[in-house]
């Protein structure tokens, strides 16, 4: 391996409401279902969204609601979802407020210092891949839907990249760079479910003002 191109550190960032100013999974659910299936799709998206919110209000772990979310995509063609994901990104990113400025600028500074960037999210590859391409991220660590003959089955491959799943993805990625020390890596997150990921590195950064997360991490790590 050419040491001249090895990153100086790894920087991991959550995506929804950390890097971008929306909840991509819900936003795209409405966008795709309405655009692809019309009024029937709109009603279906509303039903799914309300069910997921209700599960969350009952304390169902995010790992489980993440699995439930992907079940909603059963029967959709993977190529259609990817194509609509590119369209969603093009439209949303045309808005100057798509990215959270503070996080985006922090990542640019890290890249200027030679860091590799990894997106870490429970969202869909169809949404994360165009974001990664746009910001020149090196890794996309996310929940990945299972496909069969080009059709989404509603199941996922492996575990959800949520909560402890984010920490596992971070650890696995760091091991690919034996010259790096986790204590010198950074992670950005906005929600208490990001705590396992933030705790996996030496420089956790809280984006926003989530009181539960701020209570667990020193205020000096706030962006």
Domain extent for 123: 3-221
pLDDT of 18-31, one tens digit each?
A: 999 999 999 999 99
Mean pLDDT of 147-169: 97
| Whole-angstrom distance, CA of residue 210 vs CA of residue 208 | 6
State how far the alpha carbon of 85 is from the alpha carbons of 80, 90, 149, in Å: 8, 9, 20
Question: What residues contact 165, with CB distance under 8 A and at least 6 apart?
Answer: 63, 122, 143, 159
Q: What is the pLDDT of residue 219?
A: 58
- Please report which confidence band the pLDDT of residue 217 belongs to, taking 50, 70 and 90 as the band edges: confident
| Whole-angstrom distance, CA of residue 156 vs CA of residue 217 | 31
- Looking at the 3D structure of the chain, how many domains does it have? 1
Phi (first) and psi of residue 99, to 5 degrees: -90, 145
Which position has the token pair 């996309």? 140
| Whole-angstrom distance, CA of residue 76 vs CA of residue 52 | 19
CATH of the domain at 44: 3.40.50.1000
The torsion of the CA quartet 185, 208, 61, 58, rounded to 10 degrees, works out to 170
Q: Is 54 exposed, middle or buried (0-12, 13-18, 19+ CB in 10 A)?
A: exposed
pLDDT of 120-137, one tens digit each?
A: 999 999 999 999 999 999
């Amino acid at each position: 391996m050419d040491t001249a191109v090895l990153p100086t550190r790894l920087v991991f960032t959550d995506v929804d409401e950390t890097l971008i100013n929306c909840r991509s999974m819900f936003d795209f659910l409405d966008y795709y279902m309405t655009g692809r299936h019309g009024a029937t799709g709109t009603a279906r998206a509303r039903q799914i969204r309300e069910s997921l919110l209700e599960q969350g209000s009952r304390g169902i772990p995010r790992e489980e609601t993440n699995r439930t979310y992907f079940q909603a995509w059963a029967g959709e063609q993977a190529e259609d979802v990817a194509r609509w994901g590119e369209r969603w990104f093009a439209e949303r990113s045309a808005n100057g407020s798509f990215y959270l400025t503070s996080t985006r600028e922090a990542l640019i500074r890290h890249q200027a210092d030679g860091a590799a960037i990894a997106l870490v999210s429970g969202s869909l590859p169809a949404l994360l891949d165009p974001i990664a391409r746009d910001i020149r991220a090196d890794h996309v660590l996310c929940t990945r839907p299972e496909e069969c003959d080009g059709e989404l089955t509603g199941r996922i491959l492996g575990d959800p990249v949520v909560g402890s799943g984010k920490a596992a993805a971070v650890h696995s990625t760091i091991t690919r760079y034996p010259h790096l020390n986790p204590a010198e890596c950074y992670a950005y997150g906005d929600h208490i479910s990001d705590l396992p990921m933030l705790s996996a590195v030496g420089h956790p950064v809280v984006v926003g003002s989530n009181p539960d997360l701020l209570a667990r991490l020193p205020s000096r790590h706030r962006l």
